[in-house]
Structure 1
Amino acid sequence: YPPPPPSEFLVGMVSLPALSVGQCVTTPVSGNSPPSDPTSPRFLGARVDMSNQVVELREDNNTRVTSRLILGNGPDLVVRSVTAPTGLTQGSSFTAQVKVCNDGNMPMYGSVPLDLLLSTETSLYTPGQGQPPYTQLQMPVAGVMVSSLAVGQCTTLPVQGSVIRPPAAQPGQPLYLGALVDAPNALLELREDNNALTMATPISQVP
């Protein structure tokens, strides 16, 4: 068999019996999972006739990939919801409600920062480790700390902020409110790509 590409990791293999027209077979496959890496998503897939030994009517439907796998142990902080008043003017104060949950399989101990940001874009920029969570299009407007969360536990925090336009925002642009938990990536999580959420409706507009 040809070796898999660098983006793939072979975890198991079985041989299939002969199949008649319209026949299906379900077979168990066992193997070892690849090393876990919260910064690199893992998806489980299956490929039949990898070496193309069988001449088929189609060769482009021999692979199927499932949803993302969660490997390893650890907490996983997720911003579940962000709510705030809309129609706010520049400089006005507001209180947002942010719900954060631990979807991991281990408790989160200590505390991590929760940043509230205004952006001209509908999704937040998520910084790398040690980088600030702001850009020319994204401005932090408030912040609180999230305390320890047990497995499956959620907490809803009131966060007070003010409408501040990002430096590169243009007149007439809508401003979207988002929340980002653990922006410094100080907490090792099962997933690092689900720490942010933005309201679907803008809360203000650049004058």
Structure 2
Amino acid sequence: MRRRAVAVLSAAAALLVGFVPSASAHGSATDPPSRNYGCWQRWGSDHLNPNMATLDPMCHQAWQDNANAMWNWNGLYRNGVAGNHQAAIPDGQLCSAGHTEGNRYNSMDTVGDWKAVNKPRNFTVNIYDQAFHGGDYYRVYITRQGYNPITQPLRWSDLQLVKEVGKTPPQQNTLIQVDAGTRTGRHIVYTIWKASHMDQTYYFCSDVNFTG
């Protein structure tokens, strides 16, 4: 009886802040952070702060559109893609994985000046595998030089594959070494993670600024 009461109180508290828990844990790119993970990281404990509108406008629009995109930062995936990524996800919808999960993550596709992290040309992508799914493969793309993420929607033709990693055992953090070549300035790092436990694929947009 006591355990049930605690569960009810926890659910009520979650609803008060607009949080709908994931059915199970999954994962995300944490460095460079995916858009929704970054918004959760910066504002999760202060998401009602009105200053977000001016300090971090892209995160503000995301919280306003659907706060569960941040609370469920580990659930941006599609089932049943069977490796046909471009067929499943149209241009302009890459950051939301084709409006996955009932349009929960649509705000991730919004074009604008997302907060970007500074990176050297040789850097590490960290995929946090919260549920220890493991990976059939990971593919890391970076936008071509000349693409402007602040003004242009992301298309498949804007991406260039820079690293692919094959079968990876379950582990909490998978580190992928990446060489960005001669790229400078603002870019999107786009990571595809095909989990091993089922036909479930994750898609992450991470905003970076290559410092050279």
More strand by share: 1
Q: TM-score, normalised by structure 2?
A: 0.35
More helix by share: 2
Larger radius of gyration: 1
